[in-house]
Amino acid sequence: MEDLLQRPRRLRSSRGIRSMVRETRLSVKNFIFPLFVVPGTGVKEEIEPMPGSYHYSVDRVVEAAKEAYDLGIPAVLVFGLPEYKDAQGSSAWDDSSPVQRAVRAIKAVLPDLVVITDVCLCEYTDHGHCGLLHRDEVANDETLPLLVRSAVSHARAGADIVAPSDMMDGRVGAIRRGLDEAGYSQVPIMAYSAKYASAYYGPFRVAADSAPQFGDRKGYQMDPANGQEALREVALDLEEGADIVMVKPALAYLDIVSQTKATFNVPVAAYNVSGEYAMVKAAALKGWIEERKTVLETLLSMKRAGADMIITYHALDAARWLAEEKE
């Protein structure tokens, strides 16, 4: 065979050379670790469909946040299960609810850890939908003031970033105005801009006790078939004042992550959601896949697609594995 001028394999011939020409590098600084806070004391209970993930009471959640911080993870995303639910979801803006108490507790011990809070009503309403109901339909405009109250209460507790996940039209602008008027103009908004009506959310709905009591969320979350619509949603959120935009889920929507980054060149978060996590965990427990390699490859694909931040339940394990690779 005649000599070839181009032999791509030359740059794959050793670990050192592969490292030198590597195009994408996954870092612990890319991770955001989700935390589920519940009422009570002394609680650390594994979430059944999400092995390795836990419900924490406020007194225990600081331990989990510190573990993440000590591993170099820069941020946590806090979800809460309230002590009471009603039709409005009023516990969402109750300063004594678990999320607000957890934020205060974490910031008191770990002031440099970035604390992000999920802003939605689904965990707090007795019907499980993400907004106020009117004749069994989610009333978009009537929901906005409630989301604003929730976001402001999180900022008052000390949240560094608020992250509206409800998919109501106009909620980013409403929250931006509400934060500014309340004196929190420095608090950024991480918008769940392209959030799809996905089957991958099942384990999360168990973890957050947030499944709708009737119907589904297809009337406000996006149709999985639509890509251009996602870019319109991102554009609208940026116009309304979003500082970071998010694509959720991540793995089945890497094309949307890539298009979002290429089109807007703004900070992009990808949410490696509960169903993606649970599938890897289940297969690994069966011995069908190698968990470490699968997780790191999956997270790397999200970074390669354009994600600057990756929200993932694998964060603690992935941080340890990346640290071992450096040794």
Where does the pLDDT of residue 167 fall: very low under 50, low under 70, confident under 90, or very high at 90 and above? confident
Q: Which entry of 85, 248, 261, 281 is annotated as an active-site residue?
A: 248
Torsion of CA 201, 77, 71, 74, to 10 degrees: 130
pLDDT on residue 327: 58
pLDDT on residue 150: 96
Where does the pLDDT of residue 163 fall: very low under 50, low under 70, confident under 90, or very high at 90 and above? very high
Least confident residue range of 39-43, 96-100, 157-161, 200-204 = 200-204
- Determine how many CB atoms are found less than 10 A away from the CB of residue 31: 26
pLDDT on residue 137: 83
What average pLDDT does range 3-12 have in this prediction? 86
pLDDT at 136 over 90: no
What is the CATH T-level fold of the domain 23-326, as seen in this structure?
Answer: TIM Barrel (3.20.20)
Q: Is 248 a catalytic residue?
A: yes
Least confident residue range of 53-57, 79-83, 218-222, 309-313 = 218-222
pLDDT at 218 over 90: no
What 3-state class would DSSP assign to 59?
Answer: helix
Q: Which entry of 85, 107, 195, 303 is annotated as an active-site residue?
A: 195
Please list, in sequence order, all residues whose beta carbon lies within 8 angstroms of the beta carbon of residue 228, skipping any fewer than 6 positions away.
none
pLDDT at 55 over 90: yes
Where does the pLDDT of residue 197 fall: very low under 50, low under 70, confident under 90, or very high at 90 and above? very high
Where does the pLDDT of residue 216 fall: very low under 50, low under 70, confident under 90, or very high at 90 and above? low
Where does the pLDDT of residue 2 fall: very low under 50, low under 70, confident under 90, or very high at 90 and above? low
pLDDT on residue 53: 95
Least confident residue range of 39-53, 137-151, 194-208 = 194-208
How many percent of the chain have pLDDT more than 70? 96
What average pLDDT does range 61-71 have in this prediction? 98
Q: Which of 4-13, 208-217, 276-285 has the highest mean pLDDT?
A: 276-285
CA distance 160 to 129: 26
Q: What is the DSSP letter of 135?
A: T
Cβ 159 vs Cβ 35: under 8 Å? no
Q: Which residue has the higher pLDDT, 213 or 148?
A: 148
CA distance 306 to 231: 14
How many percent of the chain have pLDDT more than 90? 79
pLDDT on residue 122: 87
pLDDT at 127 over 90: no
pLDDT on residue 215: 58
Q: What is the DSSP letter of 189?
A: B
Domain ranges of the chain: 23-326
Cβ 291 vs Cβ 284: under 8 Å? yes
Where does the pLDDT of residue 128 fall: very low under 50, low under 70, confident under 90, or very high at 90 and above? confident
pLDDT on residue 212: 67
* 70-119 per-position pLDDT tens digit: 999 999 999 999 898 888 888 999 999 999 999 999 999 999 999 999 99
